[in-house]
Chains A and B, each alone.
Chain A
Amino acid sequence: MPTLLFYILAAITLLSTVLCLTRKNPVHAVLYLVHALFALALLYFLLGAPLLAAWQIILYAGAIMVLFLFIIMLVESPVADQSSRRLSRWLPPAALSGSLLVCGGALIVMDPAATAVISSYWLTPRDFGCALFEHYGLAVEIISLILLFAAVGAFHLGRRYRPNSKEDVS
């Protein structure tokens, strides 16, 4: 049963990623990406990492994708599309979400904690934190530096005024 679930979830991940890449409407693409990330979270849960699964949903499928949607809706004015009212357009996402819901339910019922293939690797939040900050503490710091300098770079490339005009003012 876990093997079957794995293949179903992997297929959903791949399918929704392909759909995400091929959609013309960016909002649709983001929604398919949410599907892919959600299926990935269920895969983590299946493999015995519930904390990672929860974070995947909270951070990626939740926060970051909502941010994506906000940005897309701020940048371009949505065009009212009459064809989106047809039922057939709603079928693929509905099928994907439905199967994800069924898989998630099945996972909760199955409780892979008890029957995980690699049950000795059941990862508690405590183990996770220890591994992250004891063994990979420096890596966490380097990642934070990368994010800081990404912000510096974005600030430089994105700001409106020119550096020479700033000099003129001062």
Chain B
Amino acid sequence: MIWDALLALLPFLILFIGSVSVLFVPERRALLFGVFCALLAAGFCWWPCAPVMSDLLLVSSGPFARGCLTVWALLGAATCLLSERYRESRRFASPEFAALVLFCVLGMSILAASTSLVSLFLGLEAMTLAFYVLIAFDRDNPTGAEAGLKYLLPGFLASALLAFGIALVYAATGTFTLQGNVSLPVGAAMHTIAILGWTLILCAIAFKSSLAPFHLWTPDVYQGAPAPVAGLLASGSKGAVFAVLLASIPLTLIAPMRPLLAALAALSMLAGTFAALPQTNLKRMLAYSSVVHMGYMVLAVLTGHQAGLEAGLFYLLSYGAATVAAFGLLASLTDSNGEPQNYAALEGLAGRSPWRAALLTLFLLSLAGFPPLAGFMGKFVLFSAALDAGYVWLVVLALFSSLVSCYYYLRPVVRLFRPSSSSVFSVVANGGELVVLGLCAIIIVTAGMYPGPFFRLIAAIAP
């Protein structure tokens, strides 16, 4: 029994032991050790283990949880690889950085694997706590501290809302579990309390995934955070939150919340689109574009059927790969002067490093949804699933916002290919960065042109 439980928890244990022991690894090797631990955890995910009482363990060891854990671990490894040269130029303390990235991955894994509201809360708190520090990690950068504070205060508010919501749900239903046939209580008074609780929980989730009325922290935090951390924040934390929303929370519980979710989606698409239009800072533009993408993701939650869920997971994959890569590319262009965040600083990149200019173009085009890239395929399956579920007005809104999005994605691309006399930066990317960027580019191109294997993989792990 105890061995079964330990075996089921093995990837979590590897992440935890790795994140503690990396603190004792010398400065130069720490990030590589972090990559090693993350890959080890990703590998041991698929070690066969007996099904254990997951309600006792609070985390599931099912295929969906394991699939998510693999993806988060790979994301953590990518973040460590992308930070290697970044930390040298910005003089980071790498053991602490690697430890916090691994702990963040642990939190995201617990979150995506949660079978009860307790582990949902704890996973979210673990992840957010690591992000509080990671965002403000660069202590020489005053905007980093500002960004950390701007993530901390809404984060506290979201945690309070989540805890209050969970308490109300527990008061109404008498259970924390998310498994099996849980449904809202029928009695009138308790029903209202449960609805109130779930509304608060959804508000907290909207805070964490920066859905529209709760998105105000996003641009400032992305701008101030180190670029690899911003990539992890944009892809991993939002991915983990949506993995919970799509897979762990039963649809019977969300059903009465549909109008709220539809309003959040519509507001996110509109607010994100119009705020992204005038941006001249790549990170701020990506922040607003992530608000729009999270609005699309809500469509997948709204559909409420299996095809919609799989479309949502595919969309999350295509969005996550492109976002991590775009922030990673920014990290690979960073020198001791800082990140070239403004479009003006990126001008003429195509002349100096044509490969990276081409890759950045590829990532931005995928985010915009140009065919034959993954972003297009993701939008296609997602919007058609939403159309099947009858959300015509939301799909029209989504099509409108993705049409407008071409403008703000192409603006920096045009600047890349414009000749510029000033060569402000000419940084050579190192091997790790090239591996991550190349892998993301391969995923984006293959998932766009030959999506069959990806859909089969998603169908195999989807709950």
Contact = CB atoms under 8 A, between A and B. Distances in A.
Interface of A: 135-136, 138-139, 142-143, 145-146, 148-150, 152-153, 155-157, 162-164, 167
Contacts of A167: 27
Interface of chain A: mostly helix, strand, loop or mixed: helix
B119 A139 contact: yes
Interface stretch (B55-63, B179-187, B260-268, B427-435): B55-63
Q: Which of A148, A150, A152 has the most CB of B within 10 A?
A: A152
A153 B91 contact: no
A135 B103 contact: no
A162 to B, nearest CB: 7
Nearest to B9: A138
Contact of B100 (A135, A136, A142, A149): A149
A153 B119 contact: no
A136 B119 CA distance: 9
B100 A138 contact: no
Contact of A149 (B9, B123, B130, B136): B130
B92 interface: yes
A167 B94 CA distance: 12
Contact of B96 (A148, A150, A156): A156
Interface of B: 9, 16, 19-20, 23, 27, 56-59, 91-93, 96, 99-100, 103, 106, 110, 118-119, 122-123, 125-126, 129-130, 132-133, 136-137, 139
A164 B126 contact: no
Contact of A156 (B16, B58, B133): B133
Contacts of A153: 96, 100, 129-130, 132-133
Nearest to B91: A164
A152 B93 CA distance: 12
Question: Top 7 closest A-B pairs, CB basis?
Answer: A153-B133, A163-B93, A164-B91, A156-B96, A142-B122, A149-B103, A138-B58
Q: Which of A138, A139, A150 has the most CB of B within 10 A?
A: A138
Interface of chain B: mostly helix, strand, loop or mixed: helix
Contacts of B27: 163, 167
A136 B16 CA distance: 18
17 contacts: A138-B58, A139-B58, A139-B119, A142-B119, A142-B123, A143-B122, A145-B103, A149-B19, A152-B96, A152-B99, A152-B133, A153-B96, A153-B130, A153-B133, A156-B93, A156-B96, A163-B93
Nearest to A170: B27
A157 B144 CA distance: 11
A143 B238 CA distance: 22
B122 A146 contact: yes
A145 B100 CA distance: 11
A130 to B, nearest CB: 13
B16 A145 contact: yes
Contacts of A157: 133, 136, 139
B58 A136 contact: yes
A163 B126 contact: no
A63 B125 CA distance: 23
A83 to B, nearest CB: 32
Contacts of A163: 27, 91-93
B126 A142 contact: yes
Nearest to A145: B16
A108 B9 CA distance: 46
